[in-house]
Amino acid sequence: MDIIHLLPDSVANQIAAGEVIQRPASCLKELVENSLDAGATRVQVIVRDAGRTLLQVIDDGIGMSEMDARLAFERHATSKIREAQDLFSLRTMGFRGEALASICAVAQVEMTTRRKEDETGTLIEIHGSDVVRQEPCACPVGTNIKVSNLFFNVPVRRKFLKTDQTELRNLLTEFYHIVLVYPKVAFTFVHNDEIILELPAGTEKQRIEAVYGNPMKNVYTSAFVEVKTETELVSIRGFVIKPENATRRAEQYFFVNGRYMRHPYFLKAVQTAYSGMLTADYQPSFFIYFDIAPESIDVNIHPTKTEIKFADEQTIFQILMASVREALGKFSLAPTIDFDTQGNINIPLPTDAPVSRPQLTVDTSYNPFHTRGAIYPDRAPKNWESLYDGLSETRDLEISTPRETAIPDAEHAPIWQYDGKYILMPSEEGLLLINQHRAHTAVLYAQFMEQLGNAQGAMQQLLFPEVISLPQDDMILMEQLQPDLRAIGFDLEQLSPDSYSIQGVPAQLAQQSPVPTLQHILTQVRERNADTRQEWREQIALTLAQNAAIPYGKTLTETEMREIVEKLFALPQFRRTSDGKTIVSLMTDEEINKRF
Ligand code: ADP
Ligand code: MG
């Protein structure tokens, strides 16, 4: 007997719906995006019980014909693309043609719609993919779609919904992402009969003010300066906060061609532009809008994901950083000394340099962040004030102590690899022997700690999510570590009382199987009895660094060696790993000469 059969459409749609519509917020996003794609100038959102019982979106867009009203709910039915090629010139928010099909598979939907050329409109009612009614009706031009009892037929999904407060917050977050890019469209948001937001059509600045500030006073946006740059590749405009107005909790928004996006790499560009200007833990708020030819971005990643790939990320990074810097005061006074431009820089060895060696002195006031602000931007000194008073130079390098040990010029000094294990490099006093794996571990450790501190780990989505099953004590530990694991780039979702699904991993670990890495972290945290947040962050960072660092036996190119060494010497503590192992050892000229 044959055992394979095709799933009925209703079942297939319900499965697909799990992908697209995970919670009321994703449903709202799809509906509002459709209204915008339909050219609406006014969009009303009406919600009940955080979207559980009702999500309604009313627009004055182009509406649909009788036939299209029915077709719209079929899977892969779209008016927005016709062929694969169109994917590369997208000007609309939607294109997959699966949102309405997904929504109607898991809810009770009633829609009325009318085009301006039609005298009567159409009413259609669909419950769990079954059309229960379609008839002509009298209605205004535009579309009015009412989604009731979301997940009425998927109890599991319903159970996974969070409290009303959380779901409402999620709804508003999605809503903000959209309204901030469509300032010319008027929006209202009503929850349980109460008007939560009323946004008149206006400029971007007015919209930002209306969402985050007070449109009557314009205090919020006066804390920002404008960014505006046009290049052939990309146009960048928007608002970035004046450094003195930065706070711990920042609003950080990137939009590209009218779409919200997350972009950790570009975030780094903005942070770099601020380096040296913010106090510790402070983050810049910004609203930055990119316009770029649609062919040079790929939005086709996943309907619920907000990452977008750019063809020319490095160039855009530079343009972005430069335009933010310019906006912040033409020339940033952020320290810019680095190995690339300055050649030999003398940096004293840190405090554990052996006292027996006369040529080493210890400069306890040495602060690496003063000279290499870009690496730890948020710990750099607060010297932004100078931006606003005539751009006077106030560089404060604090590195000129006498008789310090010279760090070799990592860019030009000769460099070799020995035994697949060590990097050798001459310095003023002798030959430096650098353990390659430990050096890279230390560099990555510092990066991971920084990312944990500001929750900016770069995540790589897994094509095939993996499942990790754990005993109860580890499940508890896992729950405790979750915020930090997320911060570093793990995308985890509890699957059952004893398992998690791993949907994304820190980008640096994309090549590795995530289950052993996570187990390794849990073990380390348990074995080291790490029980403060700081301690377990250290364990997470160290374990990840060890896992991701280049192994012994790996042949390194010269560029790779230089990069590691340069980054290593930029660390405040480069002689030993955080768990106390030697990274750099100096064979002095004296020792070498004695051998002969
Ligand atoms: P997509 O937006 O990816 O095309 P959807 O399932 O969201 O797919 O919508 C299917 C089609 O239904 C759209 O392509 C559009 O033609 C039509 N449609 C959906 N919502 C509206 C609306 N509010 N106004 C006019 N047409 C709409
Ligand atoms: Mg759509």
What is the secondary structure of 114-151 as a DSSP string? E-TT-SSEEEEEEETTEEEEEEEE---SEEEEEEESTT
Q: Could you tell me the distance, in angstroms and rounded to a whole number, from the CA of residue 93 to the centre of ligand 1? A: 10
Hey, what amino acid is at 320? L
Q: Could you tell me the distance, in angstroms and rounded to a whole number, from the CA of residue 79 to the centre of ligand 1? A: 7
Shortest-distance ligand to the CA of residue 95: 1
Output the CA–CA distances (angstroms, integers) from residue 22 to 102, 157, 460, in the order listed.
Answer: 10, 8, 20
Q: Which atom of ligand 1 is nearest to the CA of 101?
A: 6
Shortest-distance ligand to the CA of residue 80: 1
Question: Which residues have CB under 6 Å of ligand 1?
Answer: 30, 34-35, 37-38, 59, 61-64, 72, 77-80, 94-101, 143
Name the nearest CA neighbour of 494 among 512, 510, 476. Answer: 476
Q: Tell me the three state secondary structure of residue 440.
A: helix
**Length of the chain as a residue count:** 596
Q: Could you tell me the distance, in angstroms and rounded to a whole number, from the CA of residue 105 to the centre of ligand 2? A: 15
Instruction: Print pLDDT tens along the chain (596 aa).
Output: 788 888 777 777 777 777 778 899 999 999 999 999 999 999 999 999 999 999 999 999 999 999 999 999 998 878 877 777 776 667 788 777 889 999 999 999 999 999 999 999 999 999 998 999 999 999 999 999 999 999 999 888 888 887 787 788 789 889 999 999 999 999 999 999 988 889 999 999 999 988 887 666 677 888 899 999 999 999 999 999 999 888 766 789 999 998 899 898 999 999 999 988 887 667 899 999 999 998 888 876 666 667 788 888 999 999 999 999 999 985 344 443 333 333 333 333 333 333 333 333 333 343 333 333 333 333 333 333 333 333 333 222 233 223 334 577 777 889 999 999 999 999 888 899 999 999 999 999 999 999 998 888 888 888 888 888 877 677 777 888 999 999 999 999 988 877 899 999 999 888 888 888 898 898 888 777 777 788 889 999 999 998 899 988 889 999 999 999 999 988 888 888 877 888 998 888 888 899 88
Q: Which atom of ligand 1 is nearest to the CA of 97?
A: 8
- Burial (CB < 10 A; 0-12, 13-18, 19+), residue 344, is middle
326: which 2 tokens?
């310019």
Q: Could you tell me the distance, in angstroms and rounded to a whole number, from the CA of residue 508 to the centre of ligand 1? A: 38
293: which 2 tokens?
């030819």
Task: Look up the pTM and report it.
Answer: 0.59
Q: Which residues contact 313 (CB under 8 A, 6 or more apart)?
A: 265, 266
- Rounded Cα distance between 270 and 266, Å, is 6
Q: Whose CA is nearest to atom 12 of ligand 1?
A: 72
Q: Which atom of ligand 1 is nearest to the CA of 57?
A: 23
Shortest-distance ligand to the CA of residue 143: 1
22: which 2 tokens?
């995970």
Q: Whose CA is nearest to atom 21 of ligand 1?
A: 34
Q: What is the pLDDT of residue 578?
A: 77
Q: Could you tell me the distance, in angstroms and rounded to a whole number, from the CA of residue 288 to the centre of ligand 1? A: 28
Shortest-distance ligand to the CA of residue 103: 1
Number of alpha carbons in the 13 Å side-chain half-sphere of residue 98: 17
- Rounded Cα distance between 42 and 63, Å, is 13
- Rounded Cα distance between 94 and 39, Å, is 13
Q: What is the pLDDT of residue 306?
A: 75
- Rounded Cα distance between 250 and 269, Å, is 16
Mutate to test the pocket of ligand 1, among 27, 30, 37, 42 (most ligand atoms within 8 A of CB): 37
Output the CA–CA distances (angstroms, integers) from residue 417 to 36, 413, 564, in the order listed.
Answer: 58, 13, 12
- Burial (CB < 10 A; 0-12, 13-18, 19+), residue 243, is buried
Hey, what amino acid is at 330? K
- Rounded Cα distance between 430 and 585, Å, is 10
Q: Is the dihedral of CA 373, 377, 379, 385 positive or negative?
A: positive
Q: Which residues contact 4 (CB under 8 A, 6 or more apart)?
A: none
Shortest-distance ligand to the CA of residue 300: 1
- Rounded Cα distance between 257 and 279, Å, is 33
Q: Whose CA is nearest to atom 20 of ligand 1?
A: 34
Question: What values do phi and psi take at 43, rounded to 5?
Answer: -130, 125
Q: Could you tell me the distance, in angstroms and rounded to a whole number, from the CA of residue 61 to the centre of ligand 2? A: 13
- Rounded Cα distance between 210 and 202, Å, is 10
Q: Which residues pair with 25 in a beta bridge?
A: none
CB atoms within 10 A of CB 580: 7
Is-contact 300 217, C-beta < 8 A? no
Q: At what angle do helices 164-179 and 204-212 cross, to 10 degrees?
A: 160
Q: Whose CA is nearest to atom 8 of ligand 1?
A: 97
Q: Whose CA is nearest to atom 27 of ligand 1?
A: 34
Q: Could you tell me the distance, in angstroms and rounded to a whole number, from the CA of residue 578 to the centre of ligand 1? A: 55
Q: What is the pLDDT of residue 248?
A: 66
Q: What is the pLDDT of residue 28?
A: 97
Q: Which residues contact 166 (CB under 8 A, 6 or more apart)?
A: none
Q: What is the pLDDT of residue 216?
A: 65
Q: Could you tell me the distance, in angstroms and rounded to a whole number, from the CA of residue 546 to the centre of ligand 1? A: 48
